Each structure stands twice: as structure tokens, then as C-alpha cells.
């Protein structure tokens, strides 16, 4: 099995080298540079921000208040460097977005379950609103990946009528049009707001076509893996049980599409079997970041309008590039170096600058936080002046001078 995995990684590397992405005619984003966006999960609940630990930290099998090898026991093989967190915590959101910015990541593609109050959908929506607020504040970008698999779930729960499936989806897209698509922070492709949909078990191809027939605001719509009739293309996603085959199929199938978004991921190590949620989807082991670097470099050279990294924080599947105890900032340092090489040669942040946002987070959480000074450090990072931010943080870290007795 180990030899097989090594062979898969080797063949994937060879495929990437021998098949530099094909389409020089790919559509570009409005800035004529490839955007690097990272898929973001807004679904974590944690004490003390929330009154209980959410399912994505526990999966009803783990206890984050219990320490194992000095780290909280969570539903993941890897562990966040900042510990398990709440997706509604504005200080965590600030830390995450600033860390992305220091790596050269332009923004996020948010996994969104819609507006309905069912399961944890309402909590995810509330967290997404808080995330968008921070995105606007920090000058980042975002787009939405709509989980239309929610629609059959809502039908089964009696909250959407079977004949109302299309109207429900159209209504949610209309809400996005009125509240998000017009924001300057929202990602545009071909001068239209970008919308992704995840999965194949929600609306049918015909239903998606009907959904867009009556939309007043056109969108650049991309479906998962395969191009739907109403889509301008598709985006790829890890399939760990057939990593190389899935990659080759997407590359071949997408050659004649106007737009295709390749996926970049460092590994896939889910916890589902251990949590007894269901069988594992398979494994793609970490290979010290070699495949991640090759996939990202190939994507940046492909002519695509953007590259999606999967993911920032799907801890349950282990595809994370968010700083962890196990891998630190390794993958973000890779992104940083390739942004400088392929996107912006004037990009100045260095690996040490990736560590500044966590210092800001630690200071925010302190009992005597000087938020005005920390806001000043944040502004410096927003404007790509990490050295000035570092000076502020170093000054704040100095112990207060003792007054001499008279």
C-alpha cells in the first residue's frame, strides 16, 4: 500500500510536468492575474464563544476538553496551531485572513448552506456574515460555493416543497445578488459574480438551467468536476480514492471549456472511520509538500482566472493549509514563494511575516489588550508593511518600565 501511494504521487508529479495546463485561451479575472483562493469552512463552534463544542470538532466521538499528547482531542488527525476555535470569533477571523494575506492568498471560497434554519445551516450563515464583515474590513476577496445538496434535505424535512426546489435555489441566489454580489470584495469572472455549486445530489442539470432562466443578474457559474449545461465550466476537487485518475479526467474534460478551476491540496487524511461517522474516503498522504507545490505551480501557469486550494480548514478531512502543530506554516510558505515567482514579483512578505497575525491574535486575547495599537499593526499588514507591524508588536511586548522610588 505504501509503495502504491508513492507510485500515485510520482505519477501525478510526472503528469503535472508533462501536461502543463493547456488553455492559454482561458478567461481571466478583471486584474489579468490568477487569483489564489482557498476553500473555507465556516462551521466550527467552540467554547467559550459558543455554549457548546460543535459537531465538526467532536463528531459525537471526541472531547476537545480532554488533552491527548498535550493537545485537545478533536475530530481530526491534525491540530490547529491556535487550538480549536469558533468560526464566529472576530479575532480568529482577523488572524486567518491576515495570515492568508501574508501568504499571497487573495481570499476565500466560502462553503455556504443557504438561509434556512435547519440543522446548523443558520449558524453557518451567521458565521459567513461575520466572515464577510472581516473580509470587507481587511480588503480581501470572497466567492460562494453553494451546497445545493441542502435542497433535498429541506424537502425531506418538509421545509421546501418538491415542486419548489428550483424556486428555493433561485431565491437564495437572488439573496446573494442583493447582499453579496455587488460588493467590491466579491470575486468577478468575465465581469460577472462567481458562483460555485458543490456536489451532484442537489438540483439536476435541468433544474440548474431553469434556475438561471429568470435571473436578472447573470453569474459566472461553475459546477463540480463536470460542466453543467448552464455553467461556463467546472472546478475540481480531491477524490482520494482515485487521485491520479480524477486529475487526468478533469484535465482532459476541461480542455474545451471557457473556464476551469484546478484544485490544489496538500493531503487527504479524514477522520470519518475513527469517528464512526462512516467509511473513510481514502488517503492521499502528505509527501513533504512536493505534490502541493507542483499542483499550485501548474495551476498558476495554466491561464485559469483563479486557483482554488482545498482547503483552509477542513480539519475533519485533513486537507488544511491553516497553520497546524504538525506542519506549521510549511504550505503557506510554499504559496508565498510561488506568488512571488508567478503572480507578483514585487510581493514583499517573508516567511517570518506569516507569524505576525498569530501574535496579534495572542495580544487580542490578553487581559490588557491595547486594541487601538493592534488595529494600527493590522493596518500595516493590510497595506503590506509587515516591518512596521512587527515594530509595534515588539514594542507592545516589552515589559513596562519600573518607576524608581523617590
The CATH code of the domain that includes 214 is 3.20.20.80
Give the relative orientation of helices 290-300 and 2-18 as an angle to the nearest 10 degrees.
20
**Domain presence at residue 9:** no
Question: Per-residue confidence at 403, pLDDT binned at 50, 70, 90?
Answer: low
Instruction: Name the residue with cell 508565498.
Output: 336
| Interstrand relation of 67-68 and 71-72 (parallel, antiparallel or unpaired) | antiparallel
Per DSSP, what are the bridge partners of residue 9?
none
Q: What is the pLDDT of residues 158-178, one digit of tens each?
A: 999 999 999 999 999 999 999
pLDDT given for residue 15 in this prediction? 47
Q: Which domain holds residue 241?
A: 33-347
- Given a contact cutoff of 8 angstroms between Cβ atoms, the answer to whether 384 and 348 are in contact is yes
- Given a contact cutoff of 8 angstroms between Cβ atoms, the answer to whether 163 and 135 are in contact is no
* Position 2 pLDDT exceeds 60: no
- Report how many domains make up the chain: 1
Strand, coil or helix: 120: coil
**Domain presence at residue 386:** no
Q: List the grid coordinates of 275.
A: 469517528
Quote the pTM value. Answer: 0.92
pLDDT given for residue 214 in this prediction? 79
pLDDT given for residue 19 in this prediction? 47
- Tell me, letter by letter, the H, E, C secondary structure of 101-159: HHHCCCEEEEEECCCCCCCCHHHHHHHHHHHHHHHHHHCCEEEEEECCCHHHHHHHCCC
**Domain presence at residue 374:** no
**Domain presence at residue 153:** yes
**What span, in angstroms and rounded, lies between the C-alpha atoms of 118 and 100?**
31
pLDDT given for residue 244 in this prediction? 84
**Domain presence at residue 335:** yes
- Given a contact cutoff of 8 angstroms between Cβ atoms, the answer to whether 279 and 273 are in contact is yes
User: What average pLDDT does this structure show over 4-30?
Assistant: 44
**What span, in angstroms and rounded, lies between the C-alpha atoms of 212 and 380?**
42
**Domain presence at residue 356:** no
Question: Per-residue confidence at 29, pLDDT binned at 50, 70, 90?
Answer: very low
> How many other C-beta atoms are found inside a 10 Å radius of the C-beta of residue 179?
12
Question: Per-residue confidence at 404, pLDDT binned at 50, 70, 90?
Answer: low
**Domain presence at residue 139:** yes
pLDDT given for residue 127 in this prediction? 98
* Position 6 pLDDT exceeds 60: no
- Given a contact cutoff of 8 angstroms between Cβ atoms, the answer to whether 196 and 145 are in contact is yes
Query: Residue 403 gets which letter from DSSP?
Result: P
Question: Per-residue confidence at 247, pLDDT binned at 50, 70, 90?
Answer: confident
**Domain presence at residue 224:** yes
Amino acid at each position: 500500500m505504501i509503495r502504491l501511494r508513492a507510485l500515485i504521487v510520482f505519477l501525478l508529479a510526472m503528469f503535472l510536468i508533462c501536461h502543463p495546463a493547456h488553455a492559454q485561451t482561458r478567461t481571466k479575472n478583471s486584474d489579468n492575474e490568477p487569483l489564489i483562493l482557498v476553500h473555507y469552512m465556516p462551521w466550527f463552534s467552540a467554547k467559550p464563544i459558543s455554549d457548546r463544542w460543535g459537531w465538526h470538532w467532536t463528531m459525537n466521538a471526541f472531547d476537545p476538553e480532554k488533552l491527548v499528547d498535550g493537545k485537545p482531542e478533536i475530530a481530526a488527525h491534525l491540530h490547529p496551531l491556535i487550538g480549536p476555535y469558533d468560526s464566529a470569533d472576530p479575532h480568529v477571523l482577523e488572524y486567518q485572513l491576515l495570515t492568508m494575506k501574508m501568504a499571497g492568498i487573495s481570499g476565500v471560497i466560502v462553503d455556504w448552506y443557504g438561509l434556512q434554519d435547519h440543522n446548523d445551516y443558520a449558524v453557518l450563515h451567521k458565521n459567513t456574515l461575520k466572515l464577510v464583515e472581516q473580509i470587507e474590513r481587511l480588503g480581501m476577496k470572497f466567492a460562494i460555493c453553494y451546497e445545493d445538496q441542502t435542497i433535498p434535505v429541506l424537502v425531506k424535512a418538509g421545509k421546501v416543497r418538491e415542486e419548489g426546489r428550483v424556486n428555493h435555489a433561485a431565491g437564495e441566489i437572488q439573496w446573494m445578488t442583493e447582499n453579496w454580489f455587488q460588493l467590491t470584495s466579491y470575486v468577478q469572472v468575465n465581469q460577472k459574480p462567481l458562483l460555485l455549486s458543490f456536489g451532484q445530489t442537489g438540483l439536476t442539470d435541468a433544474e440548474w438551467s431553469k434556475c438561471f432562466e429568470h435571473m436578472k443578474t447573470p453569474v459566472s457559474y461553475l459546477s463540480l468536476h463536470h460542466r453543467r449545461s448552464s455553467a461556463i465550466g467546472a472546478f475540481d476537487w480531491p477524490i482520494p480514492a482515485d487521485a491520479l485518475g480524477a486529475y487526468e479526467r478533469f484535465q482532459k474534460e476541461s480542455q474545451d471549456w471557457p473556464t476551469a478551476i484546478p484544485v490544489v491540496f496538500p493531503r487527504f487524511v479524514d477522520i470519518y472511520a475513527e469517528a464512526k461517522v462512516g467509511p473513510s474516503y481514502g488517503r492521499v498522504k502528505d509527501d513533504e509538500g512536493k505534490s502541493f507545490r507542483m499542483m499550485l505551480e501548474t495551476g498558476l501557469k495554466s491561464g485559469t482566472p483563479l486557483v482554488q486550494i482545498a482547503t483552509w480548514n477542513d480539519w475533519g478531512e485533513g486537507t488544511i493549509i491553516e497553520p497546524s502543530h504538525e506542519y506549521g506554516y510549511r504550505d503557506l510558505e510554499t504559496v508565498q514563494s510561488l506568488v512571488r515567482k508567478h503572480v507578483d514579483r514585487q510581493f514583499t512578505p517573508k516567511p517570518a511575516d506569516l507569524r505576525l497575525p498569530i501574535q496579534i491574535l495572542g495580544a487580542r486575547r490578553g487581559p490588557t489588550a491595547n486594541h487601538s495599537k493592534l488595529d494600527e499593526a493590522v493596518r500595516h499588514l493590510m497595506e503590506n508593511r509587515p516591518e512596521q507591524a512587527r515594530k509595534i508588536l515588539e514594542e507592545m511586548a516589552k515589559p513596562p518600565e519600573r518607576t524608581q522610588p523617590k
